[in-house]
Chains A and B, each alone.
Chain A
Amino acid sequence: MNLRDRIRDVVRQEHARPLNEPVLVPVPFDEAAAPSAPAIADALCGAFTETAAGPCFVVEREYRAGTRHGSMYIGEYAGLMAESAASGEVLAAGLPAGEPAAPIPWLFFDLETTGLSGGAGTHAFLVGCGFFDGEVFRTRQLFLTGYAVERAVLTALTGLLAQTGVLVTFNGKSFDVPVIETRYLFHRMALPEAARVHLDMLHPARQFWRRKRDPRAPVRRDALARWHRDPDGDASEGDRCTLGALERSVLDFHRQDDVPGSEIPARYFHFVRSGEAGPLEPVFEHNRLDLVSLAALTARGLSLVAGGHTAAATARECLALGRLYERVARSEPAAACYERSAELSARSIGAPDKHLVWADALRRLAKLHRRERRYAEAATSWEALISTPGCPPAFVAEATEALAVHHEHRSRDLAAARRFARRSVEDSAPAMAREARKRLARVERKLAARAEAGTMLLPADRDER
């Protein structure tokens, strides 16, 4: 066997491991077929624009106010954005209150890449940007026509980001932003200074629209392992929190003939080898729809925040709102949201996670009251929590302990304190039981002391609180 054959042997053997099967057969590189500028412009309906680092291929589109996206029109989303922009600070910590003064207040940002792993060899071949311009939504997609022109793409992006107030992504904190940063670092280019505020919609979206996993439901070990790799991969449609799933369940938008994400890198590699840009057009469309959906979800999220507890349609949205308010230390609207959430979930029928939402809302409400030193209200919430069947045991334990503390130190109702302390001892996990037993012993000592002193548990005593 000569060296060439042996190398081929080695390569084939190694490569036989299941990588993501390319959908399109690799085409041997053909110099004559190298992507020519007019052909690309033709296939993708874009044009080259000049940057300091050379020409960059850009595809621009606009979505008019009357275009429908799911259950609402682009104009409506634009309206929601405009009305609610001031509430942005609740969604994105660190966001300056009031409307950002940048020419593009909110830039929606989504990358298509040559791989999901990150690292020096992962390229962003399509940098999708979108923004509202009055009632119109515009997309501007920067395309990497060859590895050699990456600096031009990044230069063009720097220009766009310089005009941007808030960068909005979906899962961008862990994917899109690190990937694009790596590209700047790779070329030793300065990271864009502007758009320091980044709103990653994944986290608020999870809170608003994703059903809770019932902690009492058994979790299979292998399912758990899969979950670690892909947090949403194992969930059923209603639980999934991918942009695609939310766009169906929240926006009621359903795509036709969308290109599957797993095919996207292969289509780009095919273009690199053959110069054929045609198969990339659906990828551009996919990216644009992602941008529109991201903008629509953001508009919905912002309007929820702006509207407060009255705007929320479901117990789950209300609970999520409360948490967002609490995070930016606005406890009054937060408490209102929790109360409303408990109310809504008590009334709702059929939602599989209703008791969880309800219990979580009450627990958060109780803790919020306690932090605000409204102890009586806190106690009322804790009591409501334990008196209803179906409450998760962990919450019951927490509430019992909180009530024991409350009655021992605040209401000084030692009999009640003893009742809760006893229950606490029974319910606690072994690790916590020692504390609980200590408390019970102490309460009993106090009771005994009180009995010795001839003090009865008079109503007056209880009114002290």
Chain B
Amino acid sequence: MSSPDGARTLNGPSGNRRDTALASALGYLAPDWLQERADTPDRHVTAVRRLPAVEAIFAPFPDGLDERLRRVLERRGVTQLFQHQAEAAAHALARRHVVITTPTASGKTLCYNLPVLHAMLEDPASRALYLFPTKALAQDQLAELQSLAELMGSECDRELGVFTYDGDTPQDARRAIRTRAHVVLSNPDMLHSGILPHHPRWAKLFENLRYVVLDELHSYRGVFGSHLANVIRRLRRICRHYGSDPIFIGSSATIANPRELAERLVEHPFELVERSGAPSGEKLFVFVNPPVVNRELGIRRSYLSETRRVAGEFLKRKLQLIVFAQSRLATEILTTYLKDDFDREPGGAGAIRGYRGGYLPIRRREIERGLREGAVRAVVSTSALELGIDIGALDVAVLAGYPGTIAATWQRAGRAGRRSTRSAAVLVASSAPIDQFVVQHPSYFFEASPERALIDPDNLHILVDHIKCAAFELPFTTADRFGRHDLQEILGILSEEGLVHRSSAAAEGLDDEPAGEAWHWTSESYPADAVSLRSVSSDNFVIVDTTLEPRVIGETDFTSGLSTLHPKAIYLVEGRLFQVETLDFEGRKAYVREIDCDYYTDAITYSKVTILEELSASVDASPTDGEALATPEARRLRPEASHGEVHVVSRVVGFKKIKFYTNENVGSGELDLPEQQMHTTSYWLTIPAGLMASLPFAADDRRDGVSALAFAMRQVAQLLLMCDRQDIGISVDQSGESDGATATATAATTAPRVFIYDNYPGGIGFSQPLFRMHEELLAHTRALIAGCPCESGCPTCVGPAGQTGPLAKTAALRILDRLISPAPLGSGAHGEPATVAESRS
């Protein structure tokens, strides 16, 4: 073996057999697959793309790399490096922060293990901290690092302690790890609540910390990323206290802005290594759209059945594959289907496995090993296997449903792929709007850059939480800074609440700095306990199953609590259905009972948005954003779009019962629940009154058109923002009065507004980017609606027919046509300049 990361290369003689089998399966599924063909949105297979094979690009070991380390690598069969490995290591060795984006299985771990191990050889006291978004990933890396450490031990006579430190670490092992671990593998949550607040016990680590590795950097977006940025602020503060200044090495899946994300997380300039030197075989990417079975209602054949058929074709031909499902439920269903089809075949028992969070670690390890060794022929997984867990190289990845983002789709497709032979990825679209948009616009997927990962570390709620944690860890001086807002002012307010107190500081024992004043923590609470990194508020609802002996079966964050746990709501856990019997709002508990029914519930939320401050006209204040699109000039070009701060009042007023599989609406109910208020940021679209007036529809149909437009815009916004469904909220103001201006009596029509707001108190940084993507947002929304084969609306485009109004789809399209007119507004082409001015007065 001479591959630069010592990866198994299982091709050999069976490579040919597999190639033929793959060709046969593809030939059956997409008959003319050998010729890459134009996209055919209306056909069963909407796209076939060939991604050519890539040759390896090698590079020598970087200068100055320890001889002994080179010998250790050679003993593992690594005689030269891939280019990206050499480049990344060179940056790190020269003390430059670096972020690497390379595909799955390109040997990225060596990119950071190389400089880290080098540092350990140079100075045995050196320490490194690896952060992984999940405990499972840390476990996966542990074995690899430990075997390297063992080799180092025998080759270089160096004891090298490598340990995981997380919630599963036994108490009695922790003390030893704190002093003996050279490399600590942990996760952001543990660093936040278990390591930083106890930094005196970790003095050895912090004094000698040379490297911090942030693996799977792209997963630190939104709330989680905003929290992590603050945890890193705290980490670097503690490091400064102990006199260390670690280099950060990040690795990320392909996203649009890896360098920007790394720089926002660490607040330091980063080098970017994005050209992979690893070889890869040719890959085919096929898009499949299940055929329409009911044109009127826009219902397609179940994507799960379609996935079963597609996966079956590969399985029949003895190819090894991974099937990604969108939920735990879908994972279990698909596993059952495939087992039904193949378990009885000779040697078939145990060859099909399910994989998801909630399985015991030992079972997961067994499945991973089965995949690497070939005993497991197909695994059906949730996103749990999307991240870098080592499962070897597979022949095919089948994606049941669009994963939600371009980045995640490439990541999942990348789990299939061999270094030298052909592999394939098949996306089977569900009837969800985003899926339908993507499968019918393959170019959007293949040509667009992947999503930007957005974070807002200066969200006041998040920032204040971490300032408390930081004050607990180390008193702030009166000269300290932390984040973009005025730290001293925030500390002053915390002091009013009795949480900190300003008094003379202790003279540092190490240097002779004169002691000034400092803010000391003066509360008996342990602030990190009250801050959960994975949501804005640590306040949450606990779900108690009362079917038998009462027991807690889950929890839900406060923000989505009311819409998912209202009385009579159906709550799903691992395919089992529970109905909420009572919701104890004050006690934050929902009591549920298991039931058997064929529907789920969808809350109807009424929300009203009031504009507090319009920011779009102001010059962009964000330090890392180069483009200043929000200048007055830009504002003139897109008069109908804005973003700014808003106040959202929302109330869950009722719910719909929706039948599984068919998504039929089978009933509804009313609810009386408390109102929720939130101050956040929002993007909004104002549809000019004149435009509304010019529509050839009755007033009701025009209103329906706006609602329909909002429904579709929400789907597209989610696509553009790389966010989860619950990350954004939507509200339509048909009165046009949200800024306080009363509609004039003469205007029979007003200017309605569509708000798409950050569904987190304080906002999480989606609104401004969405404002910048305004044109894209409208264009894609139009494409989504226009491309949908339904007649007058379906859940895939503007909402289910029967709820949206008969002319809603047509009206929405007409509004979009006018908004996206190629001629600039005001040129008279649409005869509306006067009304535009009027609506803006």
Interface residues of A (CB under 8 A from B): 1, 3-4, 6-12, 14-15, 17, 19-20, 22, 26, 28-29, 34, 114-122, 146-151, 181-183, 185-189, 221, 265-266, 269, 272-273
Contact = CB atoms under 8 A, between A and B. Distances in A.
A373 B527 CA distance: 56
B506 A150 contact: yes
Contact of B473 (A14, A121, A187, A221): A121
A385 B95 CA distance: 71
Nearest to A273: B501
Contact of A114 (B197, B497, B522, B550): B522
Contacts of A116: 524
Given A7-B460, A7-B485, A150-B506, A29 B501 contact: yes
Given A4-B493, A10-B461, A19 B475 contact: no
B496 A272 contact: no
A325 to B, nearest CB: 26
A185 B526 contact: no
Contacts of A120: 197-200, 472-474
A147 B502 CA distance: 10
Nearest to A117: B526
A272 B501 contact: yes
14 contacts: A8-B496, A22-B498, A114-B522, A119-B473, A119-B526, A120-B197, A120-B474, A122-B526, A151-B506, A185-B203, A188-B510, A221-B551, A269-B501, A273-B498
B464 interface: yes
Given A3-B485, A7-B493, A10-B461, A272 B503 contact: yes
Contacts of A34: 503
Contacts of B198: 118-120, 182
A20 B503 contact: no
B525 interface: yes
A9 B612 CA distance: 15
Given A10-B460, A121-B521, A151-B509, A115 B501 contact: no
A28 B201 CA distance: 33
A118 B171 CA distance: 15
B463 to A, nearest CB: 9
B201 A10 contact: no
A147 B475 contact: yes
Nearest to A225: B552
Interface in B500-552: 501-507, 509-510, 515, 518, 520-527, 529-530, 539, 549-551
A265 B504 CA distance: 20
B38 to A, nearest CB: 53
B472 A148 contact: no
A6 B763 CA distance: 13
B762 interface: yes
Contacts, number: 135
Residue of B475, B522, B539 with most partner-chain A CB within 10 A: B522
A114 B762 CA distance: 32
A121 B197 contact: yes
Contacts of A6: 460, 679
B495 interface: yes
B561 to A, nearest CB: 16
B489 interface: yes
A115 B525 contact: yes
A20 B201 CA distance: 26
Contact of B526 (A1, A14, A115, A146): A115
A6 B460 CA distance: 8
B499 interface: yes
A20 B525 contact: yes
Nearest to B473: A120
Contacts of B510: 188
A182 B200 contact: yes
Nearest to A184: B200
Contacts of B461: 10, 14
Given A29-B503, A182-B201, 13 more contacts: A4-B493, A7-B489, A14-B530, A29-B502, A118-B198, A120-B198, A120-B199, A121-B197, A147-B475, A147-B503, A185-B203, A188-B510, A272-B503
Contacts of B509: 151, 187-189
A187 B505 CA distance: 13
Chain B's interface size range is: 35 or more
B465 interface: yes
A148 B501 contact: no
B199 A188 contact: no
Contact of A269 (B474, B522, B679): B522
A148 B203 contact: no
A113 to B, nearest CB: 8
B292 interface: no
A186 B203 CA distance: 8
Given A115-B523, A121-B521, A10 B762 contact: yes
B529 A117 contact: yes
Contacts of A118: 198, 526
Contacts of A28: 496
Interface in B182-211: 197-201, 203
Contacts of B490: 7, 11
Interface in B677-698: 679
Contacts of A181: 201
A7 B491 CA distance: 10
B310 interface: no
A146 B524 contact: no
A92 B522 CA distance: 36
A147 B551 CA distance: 45
B507 A148 contact: yes
Contacts of B762: 10
Nearest to A114: B524
Contacts of A8: 493, 496
Given A29-B502, A120-B472, A146-B503, A14 B199 contact: no
A272 B505 contact: no
Contacts of A11: 464, 490, 493-494, 497
B472 A19 contact: no
Contacts of A186: 200
B110 interface: no
Contacts of B454: none
B778 interface: no
A176 B203 CA distance: 20
B471 interface: yes
Nearest to A27: B498
B490 to A, nearest CB: 5
Nearest to B242: A188
Nearest to B494: A11
B197 A148 contact: no
Contacts of B485: 3, 7
Contact of A272 (B522, B525, B529, B679): B522
Interface string B238-271: 0000000000000000000000000000000000
